[in-house]
Structure 1
Amino acid sequence: MKIALVQMEIKEKQHAENTAHGLEMLEEAAGHCDLAILPEIWTTGYSLGHLQEQAETPGDELIRRLQDMAARHHCALVPGSFPMRWEDGRIYNTALAINAEGKVLSRYGKAHLFGMFHEEDFFASGDRFEVYGLNGVQCASTLCYDMRFPELYRYLALRNAQLILVPAQWPDRRGYAWDVLCRARAIENHLFLAAVNAVGTFKQDVFYGHSRLVDPNGCIIAEAGHGEEIVYADMDPARSEEVRKILNSLADVRLRISVPPFADEDK
């Protein structure tokens, strides 16, 4: 499967411009790959003062355009994430997965909300974790800060995910963590990880870029730089199974461990 990592610049308080530019880059990528991925919160960025008006709803024009694009190019899309009001009336930081026929297969609401950006003041926390098939590959979606919570990735791996997608807005000053976590989540779960970061700025932060596709051994197959670009990379899902046959730590995992109380001398 050929994957396009669409690393775009996201501008503060430029909802219309971001949306148009993201669609333009995605359109370019979709004609040359089997799966195209955008960064997190690419329509609004983290300038969320007008969230109530800018949140999408199921069936809105943006979602229809994304579905049409997928069907026209016969290309699956995980178009990053954007604010979306769900049927319960709450707004979630939402990642959709759209197959090559234009059907929405999965809707993921970010589970771990980033306290430093006060996401909890704007978004509800999601609790639906799905594995879905795109072009014969078992995929799952997570978002940015989720990478710091390995339990989620282990859960998805045990549900037979072969590729985990991570749209993100990750800052340059924590680039070392991006480098380590992308590879760690892939290695410990014997799967591919496609992490698509933004570039640009938000307040004092500069986004790190360095979108990458990582293989089940933690090797970087392809990686973007620090600017706006589209990176194409091929993955063979059979590689995940090959690695698991050689060293299958998932078969040895202990899911239920009782932790004894600390002894006084260990406190």
Structure 2
Amino acid sequence: MKIAMLQMNVVAGDIAGNKDKGLTLISQAAVNADVIVLPEIWTIGYALKNVAQAAETIDGPFICRLTAIARNSGVNIVAGSIPLRINDHIYNSALVIDRQGTIVASYEKVHLFSMYGEERFFAPGAKLGSFSLDGVNAGISICYDLRFPELFRSLALNGAQIVFVPAEWPAARGGHWRTLVQARAIENHMYICAVNCVGEHRGSPFYGHSLLVGPEGEILAEGGDQEGIIFGKINLEKVTESRLAMPTFTDRRPDIYVR
């Protein structure tokens, strides 16, 4: 499976510009990829005051355009995350679209970043993001979720062999980014595809360095600090080999863990 990570320069508040750029990068990547992955809230950036006006609906024109691109290009799209209106709430939602243009998963961000007051703009999700893509058991989380190993272990116990992580991660905590992505991969013997953005918000730069990490923590592909498309490949046999070599799943003691 060949993965294209779209490391966008997301401009806060430039909804039209961000959408145009994202769609252009998708078209460029579709020629050489099985799965295309975008970053977190890439349509609006961190201009959260605009969330209510910018929120999409699942059957709205923009989501329909994404599904049409997936179908016409024959490519899977992990559409990063976007503000999504569901009933009377707005969620930070990550949509996954298969090659047929079918939405196979919608994950609403569970852990809202209270340091930046995300709970003032988004409702929290209440379910895991587990799904199948091209026959591969997969999962999805969003940015701050990386700091919660319980979520990734739950996805792994649900069968995930790869977890996608769209993010808007700041350079100020760039060291945490690499460490957490590798840790989540190593402790669950699975691939982590973490796609970050570049650019800045209010003078604070984003880190970039989108990562594809293997089940032993090996970095298979990494972006720098500039916008671009980063390609990488995964071999699912490595997941099986890693889990057989280090049987941490069977050695678990859930009977004594704090709940």
Question: TM-score, structure 1 length as denominator?
Answer: 0.94
| Whole-angstrom CA distance in 2 between matches of 1:248 and 1:77 | 32
Aligned to 1:36: 36
Report the CA distance between 1:23 and its aligned residue: 1.1
Opposite residue 20 of structure 1, the aligned amino acid is D
Determine whether 1:234 maps to 2:228.
no
Equivalent residue runs for 1:220-231 within 5 Å:
220-231=219-230
Give the counterpart letter for 1:239 in structure 2.
K
Percent sequence identity is 43
- Mapping of residues 6-155 of structure 1, within 5 Å: 6-87=6-87, 89-155=88-154
Change (3 A) 1:60 1:250: same
CA distance in 2, matches of 1:120, 1:53: 17
Calculate the TM-score normalised by the size of structure 2: 0.97
Partner of 2:197: 198
Shift of 1:258: 5.8
Q: For residues 107-135 of structure 1, what are the alpha-carbon distances to aligned partners after superposition, in whole Å with 9 as ceiling and x for unaligned?
A: 00000001122100000000111321111
The 3 A distance-change label for structure 1 pair 255 and 204 is farther
Partner of 1:46: helix, strand, or coil? coil
Q: Distance in 1 between matches of 2:175 and 2:248?
A: 26
Kindly state the Cα deviation for residue 61 of structure 1 after the two structures are TM-superposed: 1.0
C-alpha distance 186-69 of structure 1, shift in aligned 2 (>3 A): same
Question: In structure 2, how many angstroms separate the alpha carbons of the residues matched to 1:157 and 1:113?
Answer: 21
Q: Which residue identity is paired with 2:29?
A: A
Change (3 A) 1:184 1:116: same
Contact 2:195 2:210 in 1 (8 A): yes
Residues 115-174 of structure 1, C-alpha deviations (whole Å, 9 max, x = no match): 122100000000111321111211111000000000000000011100000000000010
> Hey, what's the Cα distance between the residues in 2 that align with 1:230 and 1:42?
15
Q: Which residue of 2 aligns with 1:2?
A: 2
Structure 2: gaps of 5 or more residues: none
Three-state SS of the structure 2 residue aligned to 1:80 is coil
C-alpha separation in 2, matches of 1:170 and 1:20:
22
Instruction: Indicate conservation of the 8 Å contact 2:129/2:141, yes or no.
Output: no
Letter in 2 for 1:176: G
Amino acid at match of 1:226: D
Q: Counterpart in 2 of 1:263?
A: none
Q: Which residue of 2 aligns with 1:161?
A: 160
Give the Cα separation in 2 of the matches to 1:91 and 1:258: 34
Cα shift at 1:19: 1.0
Kept in 1, the 8 Å contact 2:42–2:82? The answer is: yes
Q: Aligned partners of 2:163 and 2:2: how far apart in 1?
A: 15
Q: Deviations over 1:199-245 (max 9, x none)?
A: 01011320000001000000000101110010111101121011111
Total equivalences in the alignment: 258
Q: Give the root-mean-square deviation of aligned CA atoms.
A: 1.0
> 2:185 corresponds to which residue?
186
Distance 2:135 2:232 in 1: 17
Unaligned runs of 5+ in 1: 260-267
SS in 2 for 1:186: helix
Residue 92 of structure 1 and its aligned partner are, at CA, apart by 0.3
**Cα pair 2:49 2:121 within 8 Å, conserved:** no
> Residue 182 of structure 1: SS of its match in structure 2?
helix
